[in-house]
Amino acid sequence: MDVYRALADETRRVILDELTARDGQTLFEICATLMSRHGVTISRQGISQHLDVLEAAGLVATERRGRTKLHFLTPEPLAEISRRWPTTGRPRP
């Protein structure tokens, strides 16, 4: 629901980075990559809860595939930010 709160945590931002690099990863793949490549030390449930927040914010879509769950990046909600506070065309008096 809250895109802004979803971005407030660094681990969640790294997850978005990781899905940007390779989309459609499972929870286990994300866990493994965060640990090894990004130096994040956290339990699987911790990452699962972060993914729940990202999904509730509409930044990640999921799809069950057998006993795995694929995670896809859906960054459209982020467009609201640049729409709300444009970074161009604001003269500084």
Q: Which candidate, 3, 57, 53, 47, places its Cα nearest to that of 25?
A: 47
Q: Among 24, 28, 37, 45, which residue sits at the site for its own copies (rule: CB under 8 A)?
A: 24
One character per residue 34-73, x = contact with its own copies (rule: CB under 8 A): --------------------------------------xx
How open is the CA angle 65-59-85, to the nearest 5 degrees?
Answer: 170
38/82 with CB nearer DNA: 38
**Contact in structure between 60 and 72 (CB atoms under 8 Å):** yes
Which residue ranges make up the site for its own copies (CB under 8 A)? 4-5, 7-8, 10, 13, 16-17, 20, 23-24, 72-76, 78-79, 81-82, 84-87, 90, 92-93
